[in-house]
Amino acid sequence: MDLWDVVAFIIEALLVFVVATTLFDTLHWLLHRWENSKIPLLRTFSSWHWVHHKFLGLDMQVNPAYARQNIWFHVLPEYLTSMAAIALFLLALPWQPVAVVAVIRTVMFALTLREEGLDYNHMSMDRVGGKQGLLWVNNNYHAMHHVYPHNFFSSFANTFDLLVGTTCQIAGRRFLITGASGAFGSAMVKALEKRGGIVETAKSGVDFTAGNYAAMDEKLARADVLILSHGAKTDDCWNANYVTFRDLIERFTLMGKDRLLAPEVWALGSEVEFHGDMGMDELRDYSSSKRAFAARARHYYRSDDLIYRHIVPSSFTSAMGKGAMSAETAVGIALFFITRGFKYVPVTLTGLAVLNFFRFRYANNAGDEALAAAE
Position 273 scores a pLDDT of 86
Pairwise CA distance, residues 227 & 197, whole Å:
13
- Other C-beta atoms closer than 10 Å to the C-beta of 212 total 11
Contact call for residues 75 and 56 (beta carbons, < 8 A): no
Position 261 scores a pLDDT of 98
Question: Which DSSP letter does residue 128 get?
Answer: B
Pairwise CA distance, residues 112 & 114, whole Å:
5
Among 274, 352, 258, 265, residue whose Cα is nearest residue 306: 265
Please state which of the ranges 73-77, 93-97, 355-359, 368-372 shows the lowest mean pLDDT: 368-372
Report CA-CA distances (Å) from 2 to 13, 16, 63. Answer: 17, 21, 50
Q: Which residues contact 215 (CB under 8 A, 6 or more apart)?
A: 207, 208
Position 363 scores a pLDDT of 80
Higher pLDDT among residues 295 and 374, named by residue: 295
Strand order in the sheet with 198-202: 198-202, 174-178, 225-228, 264-268, 307-313, 344-347
Position 368 scores a pLDDT of 62
Q: Give the pLDDT confidence of 61-97 residue by residue, as tens digits.
A: 999 999 999 999 999 999 999 999 999 999 999 999 9
Pairwise CA distance, residues 51 & 38, whole Å:
20
Q: Which residue type, as a one-letter code, is found at position 233?
A: K
Q: Which residues contact 176 (CB under 8 A, 6 or more apart)?
A: 199, 200, 201, 202, 219, 220, 222, 223, 225, 226, 227
122-143: burial string, b at 16+ Cβ within 10 Å, e else: beebebbbbbbeeeebebbbbb
Contact call for residues 273 and 359 (beta carbons, < 8 A): yes
What structural domains and CATH numbers belong to the chain? 3-129 (no CATH), 174-374 (3.40.50.720)
The answer on pLDDT for 373 being more than 70 is no
Interhelix angle for 284-302 vs 366-374, to 10°?
120
Residue 260 half-sphere exposure toward CB, CA atoms < 13 A: 12
Q: Give the pLDDT confidence of 173-200 residue by residue, as tens digits.
A: 999 999 999 999 999 999 999 999 999 9
Position 371 scores a pLDDT of 57
